[in-house]
């Protein structure tokens, strides 16, 4: 990296902060006193939020990044806010995107730990319980202890559940959250080379398993690592590939890459839903000798024999239809067994049972909302954002960063009696796809399914500057910028 490249990178990142309305002073706070503060050379003024005198009781279910950022935005936007957040977890605001870096030994597990209580905005009431019943006709939410809480406006930001129980052989019968009680899952996932970065302790165990895997390859043994992507919507769709790239990087670092086979088994038929990124990722896989098999869904694991079983599925031409004068299409499938030394599981994911089966849920579990206004399709004073919202894309922290502003603007418009909801979510999603230790492809897109880069650079190229953004800037910007309700 030369001085010219560094200067250009600094200017790009600084321009990004300007676009987010973050001043130089605030940006310096985000970076803290570390050397990363040098990335910020100039700044812009923070865009002020006009406080509204509107009144109404707001209840937010979920105190993670999306929910607590929404609470902070409301406190900035209302003269006399009445806000209650329902969240049982002590560490709900922890930085989940960093779990990939923990899983590859780049960050310590503690680097992504943040206490929920530290981010409750002043004046907001926190109820440390789980919301278990929803009665939108009576505008009430009931907690696990039986406490009934009324509201004028409800915002659902409850995240999702990890459903390892759908995979036979693991012996897991319950769903978990990223930061919830994971004892039952951790008895299996984290041992015998079986790993998952999708829950906090799992990320720590992934690094331990990865080191053992690399050591075996370094000793001269031929080893096999497999990485899965399930047949359900998931948060951070790029993470299954990120941890694979990082495993490749660690093997190369150890001089042991030639002794390892790395294989990706996604349920779908593409690397990425945006064709430009799909093509770029395939080229990157080919360059690294990383292989893939599309249309494979993990259905079982033999933990002792270390064999993963996939349902391989495909379409083929069927019988001739005399009436339609065309061939039908038949769905075919077969079981495929694959031995492994290292297995990274991306578990099936679902909405929390108490939400999915409630009046505000849906047959698929997710909260059905208008994809632009994020307003519930049936209950007009109910909104949803983040992983729980039934929108076509957007189960990423970067999406929530756009969504929470839309929700706050639209709820306040309703509180003020306006007939139209002024704010629209355009489907913005961002995936900083880590491609090695030192490079990232910054994949940004929206509902057009076309690249929508924030920077004047080819977004399909992996660059060191995006590594700096990912490792040094995004966590503080997310944790302190979003959770202040401003970024």
By C-alpha distance, which of 391, 390, 399 is closest to 366?
390
Q: How far apart, in whole angstroms, are the C-alpha atoms of residue 206 and residue 189?
A: 9
Residue 484 to residue 433: CA distance in whole angstroms: 26
Pair of tokens at residue 229 = 């992507």
* Catalytic (active site) residue 128: no
Q: Which one of the listed residues 112, 281, 431, 442 is annotated catalytic?
A: 431
Separation CA 285–CA 281 (nearest Å): 6
- Structure tokens, 100: 């990939």
Locate 121 and state its tokens: 């905005």
Q: How many whole angstroms separate alpha carbon 130 and alpha carbon 181? A: 13
Provide the token pair at 16. 């990004």
Question: Is-contact 62 158, C-beta < 8 A?
Answer: yes
Distance of CA 115 to the CA centre of its chain: 19
Alpha carbons 439 and 455: distance in angstroms, whole number: 16
For this structure, is 43 an active site residue? no
The sign of the CA dihedral 272, 172, 302, 166 is negative
Measured CA to CA, the distance from residue 291 to residue 275 in angstroms comes to 19
Q: Which residue has the tokens 């941890």?
A: 243
Task: List the structure tokens of 333.
Answer: 């499938």
* Contact call for residues 175 and 309 (beta carbons, < 8 A): no
| Dist. CA 243–CA 104, nearest whole Å | 7
357: left (phi over 0), alpha (psi -120 to 50) or beta: alpha
In the chain, what is the greatest distance between 2 CA atoms, to the nearest angstrom?
A: 74
Alpha-carbon distance of 244 to 232, in angstroms, equals 20
Residue with tokens 């698929």: 364
CA dist., res. 242 & res. 287, Å (int)? 15
Residue of 236, 256, 385, 415 marked active site = 236
Crossing angle of helices 65-77 and 397-415, rounded to 10°: 40
To 5 degrees, how large is the angle CA 289–CA 290–CA 294? 135
Active site residues: 236, 431
């Amino acid at each position: 990296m030369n001085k010219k490249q560094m200067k250009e990178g600094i200017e790009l990142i600084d321009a990004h902060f300007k676009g987010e309305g973050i001043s130089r002073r605030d940006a310096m706070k985000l970076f803290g006193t570390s050397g990363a503060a040098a990335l910020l050379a100039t700044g812009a003024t923070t865009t002020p939020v006009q406080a509204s005198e509107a009144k109404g009781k707001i209840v937010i279910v979920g105190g993670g990044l999306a929910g607590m950022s929404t609470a902070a935005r409301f406190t900035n936007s209302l003269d006399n806010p009445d806000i209650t957040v329902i969240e049982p977890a002590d560490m709900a605001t922890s930085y989940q995107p960093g779990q990939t870096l923990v899983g590859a030994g780049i960050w310590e597990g503690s680097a992504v730990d943040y206490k929920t209580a530290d981010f409750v905005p002043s004046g907001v009431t926190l109820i440390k319980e789980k919301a278990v019943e929803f009665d939108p006709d009576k505008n009430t939410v009931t907690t696990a202890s039986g406490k009934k809480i009324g509201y004028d406006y409800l915002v659902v930001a409850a995240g999702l559940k990890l459903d390892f129980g759908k995979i036979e052989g693991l012996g897991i019968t319950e769903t978990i959250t990223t930061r919830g009680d994971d004892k039952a899952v951790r008895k299996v996932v984290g041992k015998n080379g079986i790993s998952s970065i999708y829950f906090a302790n799992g990320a720590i165990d992934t690094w331990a398993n990865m080191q053992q895997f690399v050591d075996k390859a370094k000793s001269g043994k031929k080893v096999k690592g497999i990485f899965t992507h399930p047949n359900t919507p998931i948060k951070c769709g790029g993470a299954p590939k990120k941890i694979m790239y990082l495993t490749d990087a660690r093997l190369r670092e150890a001089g042991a890459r030639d002794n390892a086979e790395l294989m990706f088994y996604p349920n779908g038929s593409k690397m990425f839903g945006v064709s430009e990124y799909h093509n770029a990722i395939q080229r990157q896989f080919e360059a690294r000798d990383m292989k893939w098999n599309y249309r494979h869904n993990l259905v079982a694991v033999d933990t002792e024999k270390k064999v993963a079983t996939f349902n391989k599925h495909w379409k083929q031409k069927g019988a001739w239809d005399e009436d339609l004068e065309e061939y039908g299409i038949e769905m075919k499938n077969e079981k495929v067994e694959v031995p492994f030394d290292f297995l990274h599981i991306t578990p099936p994911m679902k909405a929390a049972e108490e939400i999915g089966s409630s009046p505000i849920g849906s047959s698929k579990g997710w909260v059905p909302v208008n994809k632009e206004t994020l307003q519930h399709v049936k209950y007009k004073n109910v909104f949803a954002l983040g992983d729980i919202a039934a929108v076509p894309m957007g189960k990423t922290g970067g999406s929530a960063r756009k969504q929470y502003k839309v929700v706050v603007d639209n709820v306040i418009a309703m509180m003020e009696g306006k007939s139209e909801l002024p704010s629209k979510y355009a489907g913005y999603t961002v995936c900083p796809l880590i491609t090695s230790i030192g490079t990232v492809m910054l994949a940004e897109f929206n509902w057009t399914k076309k690249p929508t880069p924030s920077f004047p650079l080819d977004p399909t190229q992996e660059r060191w500057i995006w590594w700096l953004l990912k490792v040094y800037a995004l966590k503080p910007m997310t944790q302190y910028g979003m959770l202040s309700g401003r970024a």
